[in-house]
Structure 1
Amino acid sequence: MELRKIDDQITVAPQISVDDVAELARLGFKTLVANRPDHEEPGQPGMSDLEAAAKANGLEWVYQPVESGHITDEDVDRFAPMIQQAEKPVLAFCRSGTRCTVLWALSAARDTPAGDVVSKAGNAGYDLSGLAPRLAQQAAKKG
């Protein structure tokens, strides 16, 4: 399991397994966010199985599937309040972690300078410099 910490509030990861969930709870995560659609590719764990494992291990479960490469403003509008209200720390996962990072970045840009957002993502291994126009657009939606 590859965990990439963005900050003290959120960490992202590529696809996790049902067996990873107990370890995530042991590591202190409180909320598990799935940004990957169920059945996106053959062989990925079922979201209902991951949800059951999350609940069995005392984790909050949020299923917010987003289509890879097509993150809409509506997706960000749903993600922003969810991530603010979620019990922290949060582990968000998708196929590679990129989708979760982009969702986080676009929502964080509403309250955090874009340079700080890009820097935090970069420190976690995600180059979001190409998102500058969308980050600026989201910054206009402060609060």
Structure 2
Amino acid sequence: MDIKPLSPTFAVSPQIGVEDIPAIADAGYTTIICNRPDEEIPPSHQAAAIGAAAKAAGLAFIVNPVTHQGLVMDMITGQKASMEAADGPILAYCASGTRSSIVWSFTQAGEMPTQDIIAATTAAGYDLGGMAPQIDAMAKS
């Protein structure tokens, strides 16, 4: 498990497993957001399995799959609402953490300067600099 903080209350990770849930809880995360579609992974790592383990550990679990075919506004607004409703730090995961970073970036558009969003994702190892125009456009909408 490779947790990469983007802010004091939000981090991303590549795919997690049931065995990672205790360490996630011990690290202080209270909510897990699954951005990975079940179609990409075996049943042992699908949302039902991870969600059951998260709930058993007392963590909130939200499913917001982001496909490679495209990110739509409902995915962004749903994730932002989940983030606002969370009662503590959030860990979002997908295959590599990139999709989770992209969704986070769009949820922060207009909340923080685009260059700070890009700097946070870059520091975590995700080069989203090419998305600055889209983040700027989202901030203006």
Q: TM-score range by the shorter chain?
A: over 0.9
1:123 and 2:123 aligned: yes
**Counterpart secondary structure, 1:6:** strand
**Counterpart secondary structure, 1:36:** coil
2:100 equivalent in structure 1: 100
Distance 1:88 1:11 in 2: 12
Instruction: Tell me the TM-score normalised to structure 1 length.
Output: 0.92
1:10–1:88 CA contact under 8 A, matched in 2: no
For each residue in 1:74-96, what CA deviation from the matched residue of structure 2 results, as whole angstroms up to 9, or x when unmatched? 22122222212212210000000
1:41 and 2:14 aligned: no
Instruction: Tell me the TM-score normalised to structure 2 length.
Output: 0.93
Distance 1:69 1:115 in 2: 26
Q: Match of 1:80, as an amino acid?
A: K
Distance 1:131 1:42 in 2: 31
1:57 and 2:67 aligned: no
Aligned residues: 141
Identical amino acids, percent of aligned pairs: 33
Gapped regions of structure 2 (runs ≥ 5): none
Distance 1:44 1:102 in 2: 25
Distance 1:79 1:137 in 2: 19
2:2–2:13 CA contact under 8 A, matched in 1: yes
Distance 1:49 1:19 in 2: 11
Deviation, 1:66, is: 1.1
**Counterpart secondary structure, 1:125:** coil
1:79 and 2:79 aligned: yes
For each residue in 1:13-45, what CA deviation from the matched residue of structure 2 results, as whole angstroms up to 9, or x when unmatched? 000001001110111110010001113134761
